[in-house]
Copies of this chain bind each other. A is one copy, B any other.
Amino acid sequence: MSDASLWSALADPHRRAIVALLLERPRPVGEIVEACGLSQPSTSKHLKVLRDAGLVRVRQDAQRRVYALDPAPIAALDAWLDPYRRLWNRSLDALGRRLDETSDDPDRPSAKD
């Protein structure tokens, strides 16, 4: 299950920054180095982690390597999130009902606890 590598890849703030950079457009390593303010080796290592997690893909262009986002793992995250999103909607719903029927449900005490 590469689910683990996906989460741990995104757990690092620098890597989330890289991912955000690649959301705008594909970029060669040098550009990422400059934008992140990290050293080149460190950036390359982060890129390797992202590659191993399947989050980015590389295209060789002469001496440069152009990195781009791969949307698939993002979709996996989205799928993971789905059941929780339902919970979120339920609680929004409940809030709406409470606001709506403030004096209609004697079982659920209002904010006077």
Contacts and interface: CB of A to CB of B under 8 A. Distances in A.
B87 A69 contact: yes
A77 interface: yes
A110 to B, nearest CB: 18
Contacts of A83: 23
Interface stretch (A7-15, A27-35, A43-51, A99-107): A7-15
Contact of A81 (B69, B81, B91): B81
Interface string A79-106: 0010111011001000000000000000
Contact of A13 (B4, B10, B91): B4
A38 interface: no
Contact of A85 (B7, B11, B74): B74
A52 interface: no
Contacts of A13: 4, 7
A65 interface: no
Interface of A: 4, 7-8, 10-11, 13, 16, 19, 23, 69, 71, 74-75, 77-78, 81, 83-85, 87-88, 91
